[in-house]
Structure 1
Amino acid sequence: MIRRIGLAILVIVAALGIVAWNTEPPRLLSWADAAVGGGRGAELVGDAIPFGTTGQTLDVWRPSATSATARLPVLIFWYGGGWVHGDRRAYAFAARAFARAGFVVVVPDYRKVPGVRFPAFVQDGAQAVRWTRDNVGRYGGDPGRIGVSGHSAGAYVAAMLTLDRRWLRAEGVDPRVIKAAAPMCGPYDFFPFDKRRSIDAFSGAKDGPMTQPIHFARADAPPMLLLTAGNDVQVGAHNANNLTARLTALGAPVEHRDYPGLSHENVAMALSVPFRGKAPVLANTVAFLRRTLR
């Protein structure tokens, strides 16, 4: 009997190991976050909702027991993955964190390399903003108080939609619908393309500078908080430094907050309950969004 129990335990451990081995780290983090209470105080109220014209879907989260007639501030969050990997459900830990802080959170999917190249993922992002403007009121969100955020490649999408007004206008959306942006560890000034991910994602772009968020810095940009990691080896520090300097020179409201000792991945991880002690990423972002979306 003891030998059978021991064998059963070994089988379970092996099975869990196989699952973990074949699962992307963000999804594992979402599972761990839920296991230690990350889901308390937040609820998924919209699951795999279709939006746009390319078959993409999004999730909607909000604080638990929120009335449908509430008018809470809204955050659209795009996940990272080098324009190649990622999906909305794997980043449930981020959505729950902001929902528990009092936001209605929209997490959209978007098309990825190698199936598409720029500007497909930005266009998908613009369609997600349009859906949010038109529908978030049904979930207790205020369409007049929409902020955007994202990590890495998702931060690029958030920054482009905040600064380059072409994409929202193409969807019939007033660019001023975005009231604040808090992108995390994003590439904003990376032309000419010298890394495999950016070469793959932006090959075929006819005008390289027109793919760069920094190219569209403007004095009337909404308030931006750029969050970076001191030990980020994936996205160079010059991206946030240069965009901050450009916006500041133009007189636009911008803040830059760096977290020394953190890696590129650590900034996103710090949104989860298990790793929240790494740095006050969540607290700083929430404070900024509350102030700018009040």
Structure 2
Amino acid sequence: MILLAALLPGAAHAVSMMDPFNIPAAMDGGTARVGEGIAYADGPRHKLDVYAPEQRGAPAPVVFFIYGGGWSRGDRADYQFVGRALASRGFVAVIADYRLVPEVRYPGFLEDSANALRWVQDNIAAYGGDPNRLFLAGHSAGAYNAVMLALDPSFRREYGVTLPILGVAALSGPYDFYPFEYFEVQEAFGQAPSPEGTQPINLITAEAPPMYLATGTSDPIVRMQNTERFADRLRAQGVWVTTQYYEGFGHMEPVIAMGALWRWRMPVLDDMVSFFQRFGAFPSGVPYLAVAPDAPEMLPDSIAPTDEIIRRLNEMFQPIEE
């Protein structure tokens, strides 16, 4: 009933299409939002949330997750399920809002992400995080932001970020989409003085951190060939790349599957955590692993509407590249 209500136009309690993935029963237990609405700069879009395991001992590795939305929409509250998913595996997770088009255009949203990363550098130890075990992650436009923070050191230098980035996990991200063919991309990047310089594929050096790149093979927004080209160029520069192609899935499915409600559809969370583990997330042991549910023999009626929600979410996006 809750899931169906979220699909109804004008439902009083349904603030977002993402609500069904963020109800308590749909998120991982044993986790807590230990910081909410924390200001990392002045302004309503300069706030962040912090998630952590309820049981905390030694400092934990940190994941700075950046959500997508075509650089023109999105809210940190929509991704509580991601923060709690990462916290369930032993990470301290930070999800920050950033200014959107048309309030800002490139590089404003990247500057905000770098500014929030400076907050992480200065403050995350107080929330149980180890700033020396930092990983970036993102989905869609957020994957672009995460990769750009890793590849272009000028954004980190501008805000005095000196933390080492041990790895980047990018889901359904655009990395090679110039020339700008579509309106949403033109609005975000069309005024950039050097359009080629906005493209991650053009900024790769041998100093880039290891990257995990995942995408659905049926993504109509950012085709999987975008990931393939980027991965090939990274490997040519000697950068470690792990790629995952989830057969038959589209644009939103990989990030939705991080949450407990849809995790049985694909192992994206396990794949991401395994990548982080390979590059030092838990050097003294193994991370806590929540049990990933098996696919049910028959799809419960209470879950069936999620397919319709995800279809509608995918329809909200314009293609990013030809």
* TM-score (structure 1 length as normaliser): 0.89
Taking the aligned partners of 1:239 and 1:293, their CA distance within structure 2 comes to 28
Unaligned runs of 5+ in 2: 282-322
- CA distance in structure 1 between the aligned counterparts of 2:192 and 2:12, rounded to whole angstroms: 37
| In 2, Cα distance between equivalents of 1:177 and 1:110 | 22
Identity over aligned pairs, percent: 41
Map 1:26-41 to 2 at 5 A: 26-31=18-23, 34-36=24-26, 38-41=27-30
Name 1:113's counterpart in structure 2: 101
Alignment of 1:57 with 2:44, yes or no, is no
- Between the aligned partners of 2:247 and 2:78, the Cα distance in structure 1 is 26
What's 1:235 paired with?
A: 222
Q: 1:217 touches 1:243 (CA, 8 Å); kept in 2?
A: no
Q: Which residue in 2 is equivalent to 1:3?
A: none
SS at 1:192 equivalent: coil
Aligned residues: 277
Superposed, 1:154-193 pairs within 5 Å as 154-174=142-162, 177-193=164-180
The Cα of 1:82 is off from its aligned counterpart by 0.8
Structure with the greater alpha carbon radius of gyration? 1
Cα gap change, 1:16 to 1:208, in 2 (>3 Å): closer
1:10-159 mapped onto 2 (5 Å cutoff): 17=8, 18-19=10-11, 23-31=15-23, 34-36=24-26, 38-55=27-44, 56-67=46-57, 70-159=58-147
Give unpaired runs (5+ residues) of structure 1: 1-8
User: Cα gap change, 1:15/1:272 in structure 2, threshold over 3 Å: closer, same or farther?
Assistant: closer
Q: Indicate if the aligned counterparts of 1:27 and 1:89 stay in contact, CA closer than 8 A.
A: no
Q: Over residues 70-104 of structure 1, what are the superposed CA-to-partner deviations in whole Å (9 max), with x where a residue is unaligned?
A: 31000000111111111101100111000000000
Is the 8 Å Cα contact of residues 110 and 149 (structure 2) preserved in structure 1? yes
Q: Which amino acid aligns with 2:177?
A: F
Residues 59 and 106 in structure 1, CA contact (< 8 A), matched pair in contact too: yes
SS where residue 218 of structure 1 aligns? coil
1:142-169 CA distances to partner (integer Å, 9 max, x unpaired)? Answer: 0000000011011111010011111001
**Cα drift, residue 196 of structure 1:** 1.7
Q: Which residue type is aligned with residue 152 of structure 1?
A: S
Measure the CA separation in 2 of the matches of 1:53 and 1:242: 38
Greater Cα shift, 279-288 or 45-54? 45-54
Deviation at 1:23, TM superposition (A): 3.3
Pick the structure with more helix per residue.
1
Maintained 8 Å contact 2:40/2:47: yes
The secondary structure found in structure 1 opposite 2:11 is helix
Q: Residue type matched to 2:201 in 1?
A: I
